[in-house]
Structure formats: C-alpha cells, structure tokens
Amino acid sequence: MIRAEKGKIEINGSGLDILADYSAITESMFEALVGAGASKDRAQKDLKQAFDFGLMSEDERQEAVREKLCNHPLAGLLKTLCDILKDEGDEK
C-alpha cells in the first residue's frame, strides 16, 4: 500500500504489492498528464525524468536543478533581471 497525504508518504506491504501500487500510480499520472494536454511522448519523458530525479541524492538533485537553470536559454536574462531588482532593493 502506498498512501500520500500533504507531502507525507506511507509505504507498507510486500515488494510485489508496493510495485503493483507504484505501477497503478504511474498509469494514473500518465493519463492525467495526457489529459492535461501533454503528448504521450512528453508525458513518458516527464515521468521517466521524475523517476530518475527521485533516485538522486539531495546533492545530486540540487546540482541537476542548478545545471538546468544555468543552461536554460533565458538564464542570462533572468540573472540580469534579478541583478536589477537587487540593485533597486539596495537603493531603498
């Protein structure tokens, strides 16, 4: 059994039961993503990325997020905007 409520996860049962629940959850998440407008390919990629992310250590997750943010096409623009806002805040 897998139970999730307000960010707290409880997992009980045999390995097979847990994997069966996980499979059902994954199917429901896939259907929800597609229902929300994602393509099947995009939904599969997002779920696989979330799975891989879940297996990372906290340090690995932080580095992955930092890398994605720093390599984003808008990273330079966002840094400039943050610097401007910081400078305006310092002037007050």
Number of other CB atoms surrounding residue 22 within 10 Å: 13
Same domain for 40 and 2: yes
Same domain for 48 and 92: no
Same domain for 44 and 6: yes
What is the residue-level pLDDT of the chain in tens, covering all 92 positions? 999 999 899 999 999 999 999 999 999 999 999 999 999 999 999 999 999 999 999 999 988 888 887 788 888 887 888 888 877 767 65
pLDDT given at position 79:
82
Same domain for 74 and 34: no
* Domain of residue 73, residue span: 57-92
| The total number of structural domains that make up the chain | 2
pLDDT given at position 81:
83
Same domain for 62 and 87: yes
Same domain for 19 and 43: yes
Q: What is the pTM of this model?
A: 0.68
